[in-house]
Amino acid sequence: MKYAKIIDNRKCIGCHACSVACKEENQVPLGVFRTWVKYVEKGKFPNTRRHFQVTRCNQCENPPCVRICPTAAMYQRPDGIVEFDKDQCIGCKACLEACPYDSIYVDPESHTAAKCHFCAHRVDRGLEPACVIVCPERAIIVGDMDDPNSQVSQLLARQQVAVRKSEQGTRPKLFYIEGESAALDPLAAARPESWLWADVGDSSYTPNNGHDRQIQRTGSFVSGFVQTVYDVPHQVPWGWKVSTYLWTKSIGAGAFFVPALFLGFGGQLPSVFATVAAFLALVFVAITTFFLVWDLKRPERFLKIVFRPQKRSWLAIGAFILMGFSALGGLWFLASAAQVVAPQDGLRAAQTVLNFPVALLAIFSAIYSAFLFSQAEGRDLWQSPLLPLNLFLHATIAGTGLLLSVSAAMNTAIPVLMPILAVGLVALLATQLLGDFAVMHSTTNAHQGHHLMTHGHYGRFFWGGTLAQVVGLAFAVIGITFASLPVGALGGIFALAGLLAVEHAWVQAGQLVPNS
C-alpha cells in the first residue's frame, strides 16, 4: 500500500475550504498551516489569470525530514504516510530545514514539529482526510497507488501530472493535474512586499531593487507579469544561536586538535600552556552544548538524543561525537594538568597515547556539521562539497586564534602558531572567494541564496567578515616577519571576528530563499 494525493487544478476554485477543514480537524493553531492555498497571478491586464495551488506535505517516498530527525519523532509508516510523534520531538527544527517544500512548522502551543499527516487518524478508520470530504469540487483525490483500481492510480495512468521540485529526489506523492509552473516553482513568480489581503509579514528577504527582483525568478517570465499575491509566511528556523554554536565549536575543536597534533608529531609545548589551552577548549565545547540545548523548542527533552537516537541523523551522531570528544579531551586535560603539579613519565605517556585519538575526535567535532547541513536538503546553499574542508579550516583558524591570545597573555611564544594561522586564512579565503564563487550552483535556489549572502541584507556580514579575515592575515604575516607575539594575537582576534560574521551570513542567507 502506498497512499498518494492528487490536486486537480482543473477543478480547484481557491475557496480555502481544505485549509479550514484541516485546521478544525487537527486543531491547528492560528498563524501556522498544514495546508494552504497559494495564489499566483499571470499576464498583463486585461489578459490576466489567477492560478491556485493547494500546498501541503508531499508525503515523500524518500523523506529527508525523517532522515535528519535525531529522535525518530518524524517517521514513515509502512503505507507511505510520513507521520510525526510530538511526544518524542525535541524541537530542534532540523526537519524544517530538511523539507524542500516548507511544509513543516513548529506548533506554537506544543513547541514541537507538525505538518499534514494525511489525517492518519481518519485513514486508519477507513475515512478520507478532512480536506477531501470538504472540497466542494472534489478537486482533492486520495488513494492507494499500488491498487490499479483506485481513482488515484487511474488518474495517474491517464493524466499528465506534475510534482514540486522533482530534482530533489524526494519522490513526492502529491501530484498536480494541470499545475501551473509559475505556482509550483517558488522562485518563478515575483514576491511583492504585501499580499492580496495582508502584509507579507514573514522573515524572508524582501527585494529592494530591480536586480534583486530579477534573481527571484526563473524561466522567461517578464517582470510584473507573474507574481505571487497570496501565500503563508516563510520561516527561518535557525537563528543566531546556530551561527554562534558553529563558531564556539570551531574554537573548542581547533584549540584542542592543533596542540594535540603538534605534540603527536614530536613538537614541544610548555605543560602550563597546554593545560590552559585544553581547559579553554573544553569551556568552548561546553558553551557549544549550551547553545545547542538553548536553541531547542523543548530543551527539557534534550537527553532523548542520547537515549532514543535516530542513527541516520547527523544531529544525533554529532551529539555522540561531542560527548566522546569531551570525555577524551577531559582525560587529556587531567593528564596535562597533573604534569604541571607533579611531572611523571607515566602521565606524559598517557597524554602521548591520547594525542591522536583526541585530535581525531576534535576534527570530527569540527566537521560533522557539514554532514548535518547536507541533510538539510531544503537549503540548497548548504549543499556544498567544500563544506567539510571549510569547517576544518574554520576550526584550525579559530583554535589557533584562541591559542595565540593565550600565548600572548602568558608571554609564552609558540612559533608555529602564527604560520598555522596565516596558512589557514589563505586557504579559507581561497575557498570563500575563489572556490565558492567558481563552483556553479546547481540550482536557482542555491544561486539566489549565494546572492543574498554576498549582496543582500547579509552581504555586510559576509564582506565585513571577509575583510576582518584579510586584516587578520595581514597581522599574522607582520607578526611572523617581526616575531611580534602581540601582533599575531591581534591577527587571531580579527580572524575570530571574521569567522563569526561569515558563518552568520551563510547560515541565515541559506534560509531566506522560499521553498513554497
For residue 225, the model assigns a pLDDT of 80
pLDDT of residue 213: 39
Residue 106 counted as domain residue? yes
pLDDT at residue 339 tops 90: no
pLDDT digits (tens, 9 = 90+) for 472-516: 999 999 999 999 999 999 999 999 999 999 999 999 999 999 998
Is there a domain that residue 229 lies in?
no
The pLDDT value recorded for residue 345 is: 75
pLDDT at residue 323 in the model: 97
| pLDDT at residue 131 greater than cutoff 50 | yes
The label of the residue with cell 489569470 reads 49
Q: Residue 24: pLDDT above 90?
A: yes
Question: Does 220 reside within a domain?
Answer: no
Length of the chain in residues, anyone? 516
The residue-averaged pLDDT of 178-199 equals: 84
Q: Is residue 338 part of a domain?
A: yes
- Alpha carbon distance 145, 273 (integer Å): 66
pLDDT exceeds cutoff 60 at 127: yes
pLDDT tens, residue by residue, 47-77: 889 999 999 999 999 999 999 999 999 999 9
What pLDDT, on a 0 to 100 scale, did the predictor assign at position 436? 60
Query: What cell was used for 66?
Result: 525523517
Whole-prediction pTM: 0.92
Question: Which 8-state DSSP code applies to residue 439?
Answer: S
- CATH number of domain containing 314: 1.20.1630.10
Residue 80 lies in a domain: yes
Q: Are residues 174 and 259 in the same domain?
A: no
From residue 511, alpha-carbon distances to 57, 64, 449, 452 in Å are: 19, 16, 8, 10
> CB-based contacts of 497: which residues, under 8 Å, 6+ apart?
465, 468
Digit-coded pLDDT (tens) for 193-236 = 777 777 665 444 443 333 333 334 433 334 448 888 899 888 89
**300 secondary structure, DSSP code:** G
Q: Can you give the pLDDT at residue 199?
A: 67
Boundaries of domain holding 107: 3-182
Percent residues over pLDDT 70 in the chain: 94
Using the 3D structure, point to which of 166, 182, 198 is the last residue of a domain. 182
Looking at residue 326, its pLDDT comes to: 97
Residues 367, 388 contacting (CB under 8 angstroms): yes
Structural domains of the chain, count: 2
pLDDT tens-digit series, residues 280-330: 999 999 999 999 999 999 999 999 999 999 999 999 999 999 999 999 999
- At 438 the pLDDT is 55
Query: Has residue 194 been placed in a domain?
Result: no
Q: 76-86: per-residue pLDDT in tens?
A: 999 999 999 99
Going from the C-alpha of 138 to that of each of 33, 36, 56, 254, 510, the distances in angstroms are 21, 16, 17, 59, 38
Has residue 375 got a pLDDT over 60? Answer: yes
Report residue 376: phi and psi, to 5°.
-80, 75
pLDDT tens profile 408-424: 999 999 999 999 999 99
- Across residues 159-168, what is the average pLDDT? 94
Looking at per-residue pLDDT, the higher value among 234 and 337 belongs to 337
Shared domain for 165 and 303, answered yes or no, is no
Over residues 8-17, mean pLDDT: 96
**CA–CA distance, 369 with 185 (Å, rounded to integer):** 29
Around 181, how many Cα atoms within 13 Å sit in the side-chain half-sphere? Answer: 7
Same-domain check for residues 415 and 495: yes
> Does residue 173 have a pLDDT over 70?
yes
Look at residue 203 in the predicted model and tell me its pLDDT. 46
Residue 165 located in a structural domain: yes
pLDDT at residue 8 is higher than 60: yes
Is pLDDT at 456 greater than 50 in this prediction?
yes
The CATH number for 46's domain is 3.30.70.20
Q: Is 162 left (phi over 0), alpha (psi -120 to 50) or beta?
A: beta
| Domain match, 385 and 483 both | yes
> Smallest Cα–Cα separation from 14: which of 202, 273, 198, 230?
230
